[in-house]
Amino acid sequence: MMFTLFTLLSLLLAPSTLLTTAQHPASPTPRRWDQAFLLANATLLNLTLADKAAILTGTGWYAGPCVGHTAPIASFPEYPSLCLQDGPLGVRYAKNVSAFPAGVTVAQSWDRKLMWDRGNALGEEARAVGVHVQLGPVAGPLGKIPQGGRGWEGFSVDPFLTGVGTAQTVRGMQTAGVQACAKHFIGNEQEVNRTTVNAEIGDREMQELYLWPFAEAVEARVASVMCSYNKVNGTWGCESEGVLKRLLKGTYEEGGLGFSGYVVSDWGAQHTGIGSANAGLDLAMPGDNIVGDTGDRKFLWGDALIEAVNNGSLTTERLDDMVRRVIGAWYLTGQDILAYPEVGFDSRTPFQEANPDPGTGSGMRRLVGRQEEISMVEKHKDIAFRAARDGIVLLKNEGKALPLTNLKSLAIIGEDAATMPEGANACMDRGCNNGTLAMGWGSGTSDFPYLIDPLTAMTNHAKTTNTSLFTSTTNDIPAARSAAAAADVALVFVNSNSGEGYITVEDNPGDRLDLNPWHNGNALVAAVAEAGKPVVVVVHSVGPMILEDILSHENVVGVVWAGIPGQESGSSLKEVLFGGYNPSGKLVFTIAKSEEDYLTKVVTGDVDTFEEGQYVDYRRFDKEDMEVRYPFGYGLSYTTFQYGDISSNILHHIERNASIGKLDLYEPIATISAMVTNTGDKAGAEVAQLYVSLPQEIDTPVRQLRGFDKIMLEPGQSGPVEFQLRRKDISFWNVGIQRWEVPKGEISVAVGGSSRDLPLKAIVEL
């Protein structure tokens, strides 16, 4: 009888899909949570207590080819041993899969469709090699600390932009049939002492900054959320009822997000057995305690869950809720009807790189992989290229020095221009900074299927244009001067790297020691500038860098911020430098004039008081009316744009203090529109940005990003940009009533090309 009911439910609730037994079946349309839970509830009826405990407990540190596994269930043969695998820019340790640009770089494109495309490609590749749960995207760290080690894995220091990037990535990944896992929840803003530091986050900044991107992930039906290592307001993040049960899973009326999926621990972040279960943790990873490169096979859950139910310290209702959430996510993403392949990689196998493949160029590497060759890298090559290209930000272009045209000779200078001789993947988890920087280090990395470095791309271009190249791909000062003196223009490459705290690179413990370019990059630029030729500086960096020394030289006529570009690094850069593509990227953080201006910094003790409150990055600079080098949202083009004709359309009038439900928060209440005109002589795209200013009486930032629209225009062409305002976008978190509230007083909006270039202003008449 139960089998008949289950079969009927499966047929009725099956997502629309083209079923196939091929290796890469078509993706389903994801189900809704209510549909997934109907199936999960029917399944629960057939599971034993031992089955339930096995579903919720990892099988151990490196107990299988993935970084995390659950056990198969004999009484539920359709349900697999779940494979959980990093990460946010590619499938870690798999071969012949893409190494996409990092989140911070795709965010610099300010392109919603490109964010979705990248997420969908990530999901397709994860599923193709047997991953059920991909550990990404990264919604925290938000990046409040510019030196923070893992900010590059996420999208932006701004919660609205990070929220868009997170939601679009989740939708793209789960449309491909893989479970997304938004991480790290919450307050994991640095690597130093990340397993001990206590993040003391006030209620208002929690809601308005750090929780915001996770709220957008929940709205996008994210399957899972990973809780973080650190303490939050005195309690471990994976053990805190206030964090997990109230903030994440609680209803809107309780001040929560109403998350329907499951909470998985960061690896080893579980501290107690039944305490963590009662606090809101649903899946323990890796299951046992991590001791060096092995696990101790001492499980806090497993049999302990069975004992807890039997002795009453864990209720059956809570246990079933945990299981319902985990298998519900499996149903949500349609993994019950997909012909899922076996895992096609092994995280336990040390990485080995093949010899360079003749004919592919010095920057191309072909890897020896364990799994069968798959077509995903070729299929997604264009997405990787576009995400890298469209994320390039032009910071300085004096005298229209760029694009580079009609050159007779060009110097390529700096170790960041070329792949290190040992190969792009020579350092495990990219734990070094030798050669060109295309991703940071740590668990958020993947192996390059190839890396087109800038030198390779420039060399190939020079062959087609008969341009003489003079190269110095070290940071040796005399060699740099010599190369620059021989050429018409010098390209100087500098970088700044960071990563996860289990690896220390050149004394940088995950977090950066400072915001200067690595390896004497300032001195390298100074030496080249002294040669008297025009200098264009290309920056590969994980986050903000202080550029004052670089910009102090009058011969530095151009600065190109190339971010963390992934496998298509050189090819994407070449398009921008030589005019094949008009740059349209914009900064997703502020570049200050000094490191001290940021105020926020790595805490070396055990407590981060988050004393800056809401005033992080541009919010702080605007509050203090501080001068910056390049503001948030800034980026030049090879053409120019003019803004005009702002107008607003109120979709419906609202009562400011009315009691509202969660659905009301996300309903559109107004649209703001404006016209943008390309006043230059080249086709180009402009990212128009909308900022909202609430009444200052409620102690709120001067302005906050609440919309953006990217438009492509031909020379002389005008076109409309439009922004949709939701009720939440014009609200603040009222601590007293624990609700979002539209404040009394005047609410204004401003539109322009950056946070400090806002020529259009209007009042929102609610």
What is the token pair recorded at 407? 């050159």
Backbone angles phi, psi at 385, to 5 degrees: -65, -50
Considering only CA atoms, which of 678, 452, 475, 640 is closest in space to residue 562?
A: 452
162 in Cβ contact with 472 (< 8 Å): no
Q: Which amino acid is at 197?
A: V
3-state secondary structure of 524: helix
In b/e form, how buried is each residue of 372-397, taking b as 16+ CB within 10 angstroms? eebebbeebbebbbbbbbbbbbbbbb
Beta bridge partners, 708, equal 689
Longest alpha-carbon distance in the chain: 85
Question: Would you call 15 helix, strand, or coil by DSSP?
Answer: coil
Which residues, 6 or more positions from 619, have their beta carbon under 8 angstroms from its beta carbon?
701, 702, 704
Category of 143 on φ-ψ map: left (φ > 0), alpha (ψ -120 to 50) or beta: left
Three-state secondary structure call for residue 208:
helix
Nearest-angstrom CA–CA distance, 744 and 285: 46
Cβ burial 666-698 (10 Å sphere, 16+ → b, else e): eeebbebbbbbbbebeeebbbbbbbbbbbeeee
Please give the full DSSP string across 654-671, using - where no structure is assigned. Answer: --TT----HHHHTSEEEE
Strand order in the sheet with 224-227: 68-69, 83-86, 133-135, 179-185, 224-227, 262-265
| DSSP state letters, 548-581 | HHHHTSTTEEEEEE--S-GGGHHHHHHHHHTTSS
Given a contact cutoff of 8 angstroms between Cβ atoms, the answer to whether 589 and 620 are in contact is no
- Sheet containing strand 760-763, strands side by side: 704-713, 684-693, 748-752, 760-763
Which of these is catalytic: 266, 429, 447, 511? 266
DSSP 3-state of 342: coil
Q: Helical H runs in 260-302?
A: 274-279
Q: What is the C-alpha to C-alpha distance for residues 367 and 370, in angstroms, rounded to an integer?
A: 10
Residue tagged 């180009």 (tokens): 684
| Residue 266 known to be catalytic | yes
* Coil/strand/helix, residue 740: strand
Separation CA 308–CA 313 (nearest Å): 5
Q: Is 237 within 8 Å of 243 (Cβ atoms)? A: yes
Contact status, residue 730 vs residue 742, Cβ threshold 8 Å: yes
User: Which residues are the active-site residues?
Assistant: 266
